[in-house]
Structures are given as structure tokens and as C-alpha cells.
Structure 1
Amino acid sequence: MKLSVIILNYNVQYFLQLCLQSVEAAISNIDAEIIVIDNNSKDESRLMVETHFPNVRWIQNTENVGFSKANNQAVKVAKGEYLCVLNPDTVIAEDTFTKLLEFAETKNNLGIVGCQLIDGKGQYLPESKRNVPTPKVALKKLLGNSDSYYANHLKKDEIGKVSIFVGAFMLLKQEVYSKVGGFDERYFMYGEDIDLSYKIEKAGFNNYYFGETTIIHFKGESTLKDKIYAKRFFGAMQIFYKSHFKSNVFTNVLVWLGIQVAKLISKRPKALNTVVNNYILISNKLVPKLQIALRESILVSKDINVFKSSTEYILDVNYLFFSDVIRLMRNSEQQKSVSFKILPKKSNFILGSQNSENRGEILHF
């Protein structure tokens, strides 16, 4: 088998449903499997998967064992030569895996391959490619200077070597994953992706950023920017520094400072959602001539004036390809007052996210 797609789920039934639809479309011509491992969700995720995705392998945990341990569990039963660790709050294009696997086959000594991530408003996520967060780099970021934290030597559409990738999407060979011991289970959540990326690079493999394919990462569903998140993140960084850097006063002070800042994060005002005055549905339920003109004008043009301000576009993937949805959202990047909802296939709800700090919105009809 060529590929095993591993998705860790925790109470995100509706986002998981959309994610699985996109993954199934992306593996239609690949010898691949999908494994969903669930950390004791209380919603109806399992019923949804059993009903709509009978070919998906489901692994049920009776408690929340965290990100690292759950993914390691799934890898133990994975049959693929390659693994893709994927978040459930993502949407991938039909050709994402094809492009990445073709690229991977051209490289020797390959580590992780990452790709371009955008959020639910089409905004590029700079954590798509990062440098090693040495204590000095982390301190600068903590003080508001993230230039050296992100891998800015590459433009977002380029291809090249990058050290660190985000756990929302990582493609790598299973033998490489196993050689470095997989995810370090001392990390419950956050930091394990940095650790794995760095372990693989230290083992002599080359990690690559492939900016010629893009996926959506709603992000707010799995990474809420609150006090608990911040404490866990800096706790994870403490593990990372103890594992990979010599302990000294500087690193200890850095982690202490990060935790103190974390206590203030919950007091920050939440990110505001875009004001929506108009709604536009892009679907085959529109008048044929109108729907074709609207779809083509927005997909092809990068002129931000094509997008109407204070407007939410509802994208029907019963009609649009997932690649259409991603390209449309990317083309809106400069128009901040535009937002999106996606209508999954054969469903009675739409979902989306207007910012990456708060949970997404799910509307039933």
C-alpha cells in the first residue's frame, strides 16, 4: 500500500465529515487507506463515519490520550509506505497527495514534506514553514519579532528545504517515522510536531516545504488560543529544550517568561468576526448561466474587486471541486471583509471559520 492517512478526532464531527470527503476524493487513484483514531469524543463522530464512510478504519480510545500517543497507536496498524498525519479540521485538494507523492519519489533521504496552509478565510498561515525554535528565536517571537521563527527564506508558493512543520499536515515515509521513534509521548498536545520535525532533521533526513499545493486548516477547531493552550504550549517547549538543548539559566527563564505571558492571554479580547451584509451561494442550484459566470470569474481572477465586501460566500462541494474551493479562498486573501462557508456533499449543514483563534461555526438547515 502506498499511503496511510491518519486523522486524530476529538469532538469535531462536522469538520471531520468534510475532511473525509476531501481525503476520499484525493486518494481515489492511489492505493491508500484512511485511519481515524478517536480520543473518546462525546459527539456522534463514530456514527457519522460508520454511516457515511464505511471504508474508513475507526480506532476508538476510551480516554483522551493526547495527540502523540494516539497517532503512534494508529501508525502501528498503518499499512502504507507513506504516512500522512492530518488534522480533522482540514480540507485538501483532489491532487494534493498525487503531487506530493510524485515529489517525494524524486528525493533521496527524504524526511517530512509539508505544504501551504490557509485558514478559513483564505489567509496564508505562516506556520506552514518554520525554523527550529532555538531559545533565542523563541524569545524574539515572544517579544513580537517572528521574522526568524518562520522560514521566510522561501516564498509561500516555492519549494525548498525547511526544518519544522505543523502537525496539521505531515507527509513522510513510515520507515522514517519509525526510525526516530514517532511522536514523543511526553507531549500531550502542542510541540510534538516541532519535536518530530527536529528529530528527523537531526537524524540526517531532509524536510521539504512544497508550496505548489494548498490545503485549508480551519485551525480554531483544534487550537484555541486561550490560557490552557498557552500553558500547554510553553510546557511542551520546556520538554523540547530539555530534550534537544543544554539546560541553562537562559532557557529556564525563557520558559518561565512564556508561562507568565500565558496567564495574560485569556484576558485578551477575542478576534472579531467579519461583518456580513450579503450572502452568495455558488452552486448548481443557481440559474445555469449565472452560476457558470460567477464561478469562473471568482476562480480565475485574482482581482480583489471580484469579491464583494462584507459578503459571505457559501461554497457547495456537491458542485465545486475541493481544489476549486481552495483556489477561490486563496484568491480572496487580500479582501479582508470576505468570509466563507462550505456545504459538504449530501449534508444539511454548512460550516466555516472567520478567524483562527475561535471555534468555527456550523449552521444546520
Structure 2
Amino acid sequence: MKLSVIILNYNVRYFLELCLKSVQEAIVNIDAEIIVIDNNSQDDSCAMVKQLFPTVKLIENNENSGFSNGNNIGVAHAKGDYLCILNPDTVVAEDTFTKLIQYADSKENLGIIGCQLIDGKGQFLPESKRNVPTPKVSLMKMLGRTKGYYANDVQIESKGKVDILVGAFMWLKKDVYEAVGGFDEAYFMYGEDIDLSYKVVKAGYDNYYYGDTTIIHFKGESTLKDAKYAKRFYGAMQIFYKKHFKQNLFFNVIVWLGIKLAYVMSKSPETLETTTKRSYVYSKTRDQSLEKQLPKPVEFLDSLEDKIETHSMVVYDFNMLNTTTVIRDMKQKSKQENIVFRFLPKNSKFIIGSDSALNRGKVLHF
């Protein structure tokens, strides 16, 4: 088997449905399998997978064992030569996997490949390509100076070697994953992608950023960016520094500052609302039950070439459009002021989207 797509899910049933539908489209011409590991979700994620995706291999954990452990369980069941570690709050393009197979097959000494990620508003996510977060670089990042943290020498649309890739999408050979011991289970959540990337580099492999394909990553769906998040994040970085760097006073100051921030962030972030004055629905079907729930006025369009106004909601119907086209259009429309995007999966009666990494995404049933 060529590819195993590993998806660890926790309480994001509707994002998972959208993700799985996009993955199915992307593996049509590939000898591939999809493995979903559910970390004891309290929603109906597992029931949905069983009903809508009977060919998906579903592993139901009876506890939330964390990101590293969950993915390691999935990889242990994988039969593919290549692995794609994929977040459930992502949408892949139809050609993502075929492009990466061709690129990966051309590389010797291959480590991990990451691709271009955009958020739910169509904006590029700079964590798609990063440098090693040494103590000095991390301190500068905390102080708002990101130079040196992100791999800005590699252009967004290009390809090149980078050290650190993001866990929302990681492509690598199963042999390499096993050779470095997979994800370190000392990390419950956060930091494990940095650790795996760095372990692969230290083992002598080359990591690459591949900007010729783009996926959507609705950030922050499984956890909110609050004080608990901050404590976990900086706790993970403490594990990383102790493991990979010689401990010193400078290191201790950085960790202390990071953990201190966790207590400062005592309130959950406020909801960020974007004013929408109208809606545009790209669909061949005018569904009145959907129309009633959208910001008025509502205009149904069948061409992405039609101009739209600012302060609008754009709804993409995947019964009419493919993901590659939608991503391209999102990037273009995101240049306008206050445009929010919603997505209607094939054969579904809900739209979904996310306007901020600080808050959970929004699901609207109709």
C-alpha cells in the first residue's frame, strides 16, 4: 500500500466529516487507507464515521490519551509506505497527495514534508515552515520578534528545506517515523510536532516545505487558546528544551516567562465577530432553508468570477465546486475586507467555517 492517512479526532464531528470527504476525493487514484483514531469524543463522531465512511478504519480509544499517543496508535495499524499525519480540522485539495507522492519519490534521504496551510479566512499560516526554536529564538518570539522563528527564506509558493513542520499536516515514510520512535508521548498536546521534526533532522534526514499544494487548517478547533492552553504549550516547550538543549540560566528564564504568561491569560478570549452585511452562495441549488439563516440579502451565484462586496459571507457548495478551486478562490477573496467563508460538504445539511484561531468554529444546520 502506498499511503496511510492518519487522523486523530477529538470532539470535532462536523469538521471531521468535511475533512474525510476531502481525503476521499484526494485518494481516488491512490492505493491508500484512512485511519481515524478517536480519543473518547463525547459527540457523535464515531457514529458518523461508521455511518458515512464504512471503509475508514476507526479506532475508538476509551480515554483521551493525547496527540502523541493517539497518532502512534494509528501508525501502528498503518500499512502504507507513506504516512500523512492529518488534523481533523483540515481540508485537503484533490491533488495534494498525488503531488506529494511524486515529490517524495524524487527525494533521497527524505524526512518530513509539509505543505502550504491557510486558515479559515484564507490567510497563510506562517507555522507551515519554521526554524528550530532555540531558547534565544523562542524568547524573541515571545517578545513579538518573529525573525528567525519562521523559515522566511523559503517563499510561500516555493519548495525548500526547512527544519520544523506543523503537526496539522506531516508527510513522511513509515520507516522514518519508526526509526526515530514516532511522536514522543511525554508530550500530551503541543510541541510534539516540533520534537518529531527536530528528531528527524538530528537523525540525518532532510525535511522539506512544499508550497505547490495548499490545505485549509481551521485552527484551534480541538482546544481553545486560554490559560490552560498556554500552560500546556509552555510545559511542552520545557520538555523540548530539557531534551534537546543543554540547560542553563537563559533557558530557565524563558520557560519561567512562558509559564508565567499562562497565569496572566486567566480569561478565555472574547469572541471575534465580523460584521456581515450580505451573503453570496456558490451553488447550483437555491436551498430556501439555508437562505433563511444567512445574513441578508442573499445572492446565489454559479460563477466565482462574479464580483462580491466587502463585509460579506461566502458559502462554497462542494456539490458544485472542488476543493482546489475553492482554495484558490479563498486566497483571492481574502484580500478583501471582512470576508468570511463557510463550506457546505457534499450531501450534507450544514455549513461550517472558522473565523478565528482563538475561538471554536461555527456550524449552522439547515
TM-score (norm 2): 0.94
For 2:308 and 2:199, locate their aligned partners in 1 and report how far apart those are by CA, in whole Å: 43
* SS of alignment partner, residue 201 of structure 1: helix
For 1:268 and 1:68, locate their aligned partners in 2 and report how far apart those are by CA, in whole Å: 25
For 1:6 and 1:19, locate their aligned partners in 2 and report how far apart those are by CA, in whole Å: 12
- Runs of 5+ unmatched residues, structure 2: 288-299
Tell me if structure 2 keeps the 8 A contact 1:307–1:335: no
Tell me if structure 1 keeps the 8 A contact 2:130–2:149: yes
One-letter amino acid of the structure 1 residue matched with residue 261 of structure 2: V
Equivalent residue number for residue 205 of structure 1: 205
- Runs of 5+ unmatched residues, structure 1: 299-305
For 1:332 and 1:272, locate their aligned partners in 2 and report how far apart those are by CA, in whole Å: 20
For 1:80 and 1:227, locate their aligned partners in 2 and report how far apart those are by CA, in whole Å: 39
Equivalent residue number for residue 33 of structure 1: 33
Q: CA deviation at 1:269?
A: 5.1
Q: How does 1:44-123 map to 2 (within 5 A)?
A: 44-123=44-123
Q: CA deviation at 1:273?
A: 2.3
Equivalent residue number for residue 230 of structure 1: 230
* SS of alignment partner, residue 4 of structure 1: strand
Tell me if structure 2 keeps the 8 A contact 1:307–1:338: no
Q: CA deviation at 1:336?
A: 3.5
* SS of alignment partner, residue 46 of structure 2: helix
* SS of alignment partner, residue 103 of structure 1: helix
Tell me if structure 1 keeps the 8 A contact 2:227–2:268: no
Tell me if structure 1 keeps the 8 A contact 2:35–2:74: yes
- Corresponding position: 1:155 with 2:155: yes
Tell me if structure 1 keeps the 8 A contact 2:26–2:95: yes
Equivalent residue number for residue 137 of structure 1: 137
* SS of alignment partner, residue 231 of structure 1: helix
Q: CA deviation at 1:192?
A: 0.1
CA deviation string 1:291-340 (max 9, x = no partner):
44x32x16xxxxxxx44101001110011001111111111232231001
Tell me if structure 2 keeps the 8 A contact 1:273–1:355: no
Q: How does 1:127-276 map to 2 (within 5 A)?
A: 127-267=127-267, 270=270, 272-276=272-276
For 2:36 and 2:278, locate their aligned partners in 1 and report how far apart those are by CA, in whole Å: 37
Tell me if structure 2 keeps the 8 A contact 1:220–1:353: no
Q: CA RMSD in A?
A: 1.4
For 1:10 and 1:140, locate their aligned partners in 2 and report how far apart those are by CA, in whole Å: 33
- Corresponding position: 1:337 with 2:338: yes
CA deviation string 1:339-361 (max 9, x = no partner):
01000111111000111111000
Q: CA deviation at 1:262?
A: 2.0
Structure 1 stretches of at least 4 aligned residues deviating more than 4 Å after TM superposition: none
Q: CA deviation at 1:267?
A: 4.0
TM-score (norm 1): 0.95
State how many pairs are aligned: 354
One-letter amino acid of the structure 2 residue matched with residue 325 of structure 1: V
One-letter amino acid of the structure 1 residue matched with residue 107 of structure 2: K
For 1:124 and 1:212, locate their aligned partners in 2 and report how far apart those are by CA, in whole Å: 13
The percent of aligned pairs where both chains have the same amino acid is 61
Equivalent residue number for residue 302 of structure 1: none
